[in-house]
Amino acid sequence: MSIFDAIKKSVLEGFSAEITLADIIISLLLAFLSGLFILLIYRLTMRGVSRNRTFEVTLLLISPISAMIVLTITSNLALSLGMVGALSIIRFRTAIKDASDTAFMFWSVAAGITAGAHFYKITIVACLFIGAAAFIIMKISANGARPYLLIVRANNDVAVDQVARFFAERGVRTRLSSLTDNGEYCEIIYEISVKGAHQKLVSSISNIPDVVSVSLVDCRN
């Protein structure tokens, strides 16, 4: 037997394994449970207050759909080639607002692939590990400083200098983003990184003489 015949035989044998109904049910059920777990972690770690119901349903469905595709691919060589060709021409143009949403989508797809390929231990262990890591990272980031835009409107340049001195004395990390002077007032926009005591910060700057208004905006908005 030549090496080409050996390769051909091994490839055909890899696709000749019959998939039972029990295998299909176990793979799809594990993929669905993995999707529920991923959805739970997503809700626990999401940083916004408003939920995207459509994205949550998508996360729940991606895992069993991926498992179904993998089950089909591993059962028949001709179907696997046709499905790969069909999937290669599909383009997804939905915009992802948060970069972390992309990670959850990849996680959901990976869980479905491993469940469909009958790597059940990998599916379970990987989901538990990634879920714990995501939860820990969320807790750490929640306790740290967050980026904001601070918009200060003042009557003169002296007040603007006093605002800059206020940040320097308290060691607040800032970066000048915009400065406007139209003759009537000065408007300055800072990128700052602070944690907690937001109301106290805004009130302290508002008490500076000749400061007309102060606005603190979350950078995620």
The better pLDDT of the pair 146, 76 is held by 146
Q: Assess whether 97 and 161 both reside in one domain.
A: no
Domain end position, chosen among 109, 143, 177: 143
Computed over every residue of the chain, the mean pLDDT equals 78
* Amino acid identity, position 135: F
Q: What is the DSSP letter of 92?
A: -
pLDDT band at residue 142 using 50, 70 and 90 as cut-offs = low
Mean pLDDT is lowest, of 1-15, 34-48, 51-65, 88-102, for 1-15
> Are both 45 and 152 inside the same structural domain?
no
Q: What is the DSSP letter of 1?
A: -
Whether residues 90 and 154 share a domain: the answer is no
We report the CATH number of the domain holding residue 209 as 3.30.70.260
Q: Choose between 213 and 77: higher pLDDT.
A: 213
Domain stop point among 95, 124, 143: 143
pLDDT of 172 higher than 60? yes
**For residue 8, what are its two tokens?**
């051909």
Phi-psi group of 122: left, alpha or beta (phi > 0 → left; psi -120 to 50 → alpha; rest → beta): alpha
The side-by-side arrangement of strands in the sheet containing 211-218 is 173-181, 186-194, 146-154, 211-218
**195 shares a domain with 109:** no
Residue 83 and residue 19 share a domain:
yes
Are the beta carbons of 150 and 122 closer than 8 angstroms? no
Whether residue 90 sits in one domain with residue 16: yes
Phi, psi (rounded to 5 degrees) for 24: -65, -45
Q: What is the pLDDT of residue 121?
A: 93
Structure pTM? 0.67
Domain span at 63: 3-143
Q: For 188-214, how does the pLDDT look when each residue is reduced to its tens digit (9 = 90+)?
A: 888 887 776 577 778 888 888 888 888
* Residues 173 and 136 grouped into a single domain: no
> Do residues 171 and 133 both lie within one domain?
no
**Which pLDDT does position 3 carry in this prediction?**
56
Which of residues 143, 165, 194 is at a domain's end? 143
Asked whether residue 12 falls in the same domain as residue 104, the answer is yes
State mean pLDDT over 157-185.
Answer: 80
- Do 198 and 102 sit in the same domain of this protein? no
Residues 115 and 157 in one domain: no
* pLDDT (average), residues 37-41: 92
Total domains present in the chain: 2
Residues 134 and 150 in one domain: no
* Distance separating alpha carbons of residues 8 and 13, to the nearest angstrom: 9
pLDDT over threshold 90, residue 179: no
